[in-house]
Chains A and B, each alone.
Chain A
Amino acid sequence: MKTMKNHMKVEFDSYSGNESFARITVAAFLCCLNPTVEELEDIKTAVSEAVTNSIIHGYGNQVGTVTMECEIDGDEVIVAVSDEGVGIVDIGKAMEPLYTTRPDLERSGMGFAFMEAFMDTLEVTSAPMEGCLVRMKKKIGVPLHERYNCLD
């Protein structure tokens, strides 16, 4: 058996219609791991939050490129979403639940809180005018030998 490593990377324009594209893509990539419905929903929610943030906050009314990378490393899933948008001034504050800079767009300030709740780890790298990178990890619970392995 080959080692359980796999990787993918996609780029797409920052249109809101691409939010579902990102969720479907990551779900399709992970399906060979046989994740539970709940694990898959957790990852889809976290991806949706990160991608939506890049579209709304990173690029605003501009159209830019959102990059989504996903890696499978054994029983761990690593997802990275990045943009080259306006970036974040104060990351600590941005990550506080209910904190939002766009109440006018009816944002609730729960995006980062959801990413934290649904994934095991969350890392945010950003600086003003230097874009934003969100890296999240999650261990998938089902033992390896019970899984159908797409990498064989």
Chain B
Amino acid sequence: MDDFQVINSYLCIRMPKELDHHKAIRIREMADRYIEGQHIEFVVFDFEDTSFMDSSGIGVIMGRYKKIQILGGRVLAVHVSDRIRRIFRLSGLHKIVEIVEDEE
């Protein structure tokens, strides 16, 4: 699956167009397979393609955060739209996920 890429100790996950409960189940399974099987320190969620996200997205990110944090790692988010940023803020996710701003 090329939605998941490991570069050094980074696991990059390309999030789907619509991130709901249905899609979240597979992301959770796949991500954990990588986190448990390889030396991962950083999980990077890439929202470039994502136009929809509900609370299921919060659960997936929060769950990976809990896993990686025990291993001393961190969670990052890139290409975060205003809408997703609002959802991050409403749920308090912005406190545990580092949003990397787009370059000009």
A residues adjacent to B (C-beta < 8 A): 16-17, 19-20, 23, 38, 41, 44-45, 48-49, 52, 55-56, 105-108, 110-111, 113-114, 117
Contact = CB atoms under 8 A, between A and B. Distances in A.
A38 B81 CA distance: 12
Contact of B55 (A38, A41, A55, A108): A108
Interface in B11-40: 18, 20-22, 24-25, 28
Contacts of B83: 38, 41
A19 B59 contact: no
Interface of B: 18, 20-22, 24-25, 28, 52, 54-56, 58-60, 62-63, 83, 87, 90-91
Main secondary structure, interface of B, reads helix
Contacts of B22: 16-17, 19-20
Given A56-B21, A113-B90, A23 B59 contact: no
A113 B55 CA distance: 10
Contact of B54 (A49, A105, A106): A49
A52, A107, A108 pick with most chain B CB within 10 angstroms: A108
Contacts of B59: 105-108
A144 B36 CA distance: 55
Contact of A106 (B18, B28, B90, B91): B28
Nearest to B92: A98
Nearest to B93: A108
B46 to A, nearest CB: 20
22 contacts: A19-B22, A20-B18, A23-B52, A44-B52, A45-B52, A48-B20, A48-B52, A48-B54, A49-B54, A52-B20, A52-B21, A56-B21, A106-B24, A106-B60, A106-B63, A107-B55, A108-B58, A108-B91, A110-B58, A110-B90, A114-B55, A114-B87
Nearest to B52: A44
